[in-house]
Structure 1
Amino acid sequence: MPRPWSAETQRPARNKVLRGIIKHAVLICFLLIMLYPLLWMVGASFRPGNQTFAGLGIFSDTYTAQNYADGWSVGNLNFSRYFVNSAIITVGAILGNLVACSLTAYAFARLEFRFKGVLFGLVIATMLLPQHVTLIPKYIIFNQMGWVNTYLPLVVPHWFAVDAFFVFLMVQFIRTLPKSLDESARIDGCGHWGIFWRIVLPMSLPAIGTTAMFTFVAAWNDLLGPLLYLPRSDLWTVSLGLNSFLDQTGQSTYGTLFAMATLSLAPIVGFFIASQRLLVEGIATTGLK
């Protein structure tokens, strides 16, 4: 028989609802604190130049889109070209990482060969190597190859699985896939390439989405690489275009800078929204914390 209604039976349910409300309120407060700088920048990008730093509030009494019109083609800057350059480099880096890292990860996760453990350890060890240690040697090599003032130094290395983190991520994911699927495909006549293309790759979409997202953010936001290898202004990326707003004294027209910075974030936000499910699933299923 159902228990009779009483205040004691309803109290645990009310406490549970109250705890849920408090928890979500605290999370929303932390979210607003984290998003405040971004929201303030977006709000400041719509303010007139003399009101950019009028206050700490997000909203203003006066709004204008002139900062976007001025920033898009101010002086010798051409952000239309910069966005195209960034897109070319970013797409090349993403494709390179997806192809090279997935093939390398499949070899370490599924094939057996001599010194496999040693080689995988060396690959992981490169994650501990600071980027600045190899900066000068790489520049000397690329300069002697005639690659300076081209996109090649920013794209070609990704086609050789130089990003050990993504190799490790994909290896961890592929190891979670049951080997019985490989054996079934081998009975049907598939070789390693067929197993990789028809079995492993389709089931590795979460790890592929995670790799694509992280590569997109790193390549799109990269400043040091384009600053070294792309001295010609017609090859500049969005990050170099934003950096050019600062003059030699460190001053800037902040209204147009905030406007272009807001536009530069739009592709990242859009890509994250499109791949959010794969990103969360990829991190959750590879054991990364």
Structure 2
Amino acid sequence: MNEAPDAAVVASATDIAIAAAEEAGAAIRAGLREALQVRAKGADGDLVTQLDLLAEDIILRRLREAFPGHAILAEESGRHGGAQDSWCWVVDPLDGTNNIAVGLPVYSVGIALCHAGTPVVGVVHEPTTDRTWWAVRGGGAFGPHGRIRGLARERKRSAPTLAWLQGYSVGSADPVARGLRLTLEANARRVIQLWSPLLCWMMVSRGDIDGFVGYRAGVIDLPAGSLIARESGIRITDFDGAPLDERIDPADGGVDFLAGTGEIPHDLALLVKSAADVRVSGLAR
């Protein structure tokens, strides 16, 4: 059995993570007043800008100063080992780079601290509105207006409003993604794709939307958002409807999840099952 995380470390980490996310967010806002330098990152269509690198440098500096023995897994610079590898920070310095690259002000900063692979602190900051949300495992989720409770929305229509996420490794011809998207769109009032998963997690946590579906989602932006969602009362399952393992595995090639309140995850699991029979013809593979 894993030893429980030190409460003093968790409390200090929460304050440091909030300060680091907000400092990085301010730097991104200021940087957007200047010309944006965008370049491709990898072969899957992802992008990186000088603001991603600047924000990550700010966050890593803060974390190293406060917790020099902790490991860090960062979006741009990868893994940094530490003497206390049971503690690992997961840093997404700019979640929504593709949005910024095309002039959409929809992006966020995410920081999580994991102990033995399980998220214990999660922070999400939205620079455009200067709003911050955070959670401590077992201690609840909070935002600008106090505690967050993911209550089910009153729907004027029976169809839910959903968010959709697919990992960068998922190609446009992926038959599973095609089937899922068509099935969700046929059964939802609206399916949104923000290109900033952390903000989708905040929307479902606040009850702004009914559910969130992720297909082969990356692990960098998962722990901060999912912890805040769990602590606000959101249920998160795998595609079969079983509780999703909270532990983060950096080697995982992608995570499938369903999130929502009440019976939403169960209903989504039924849709996922039905999507397996969907075949899309006439499109390039």
TM-score range normalised by the length of the shorter chain: under 0.3
TM-score by structure 2 length? 0.26
Bigger Rg, structure 1 or 2 = 1
Of structures 1 and 2, the one with the larger relative CO (CA 8 A, separation 6+) is 1
Name the structure with the higher strand share.
Answer: 2
Name the structure with the higher helix share.
Answer: 1
TM-score by structure 1 length? 0.26
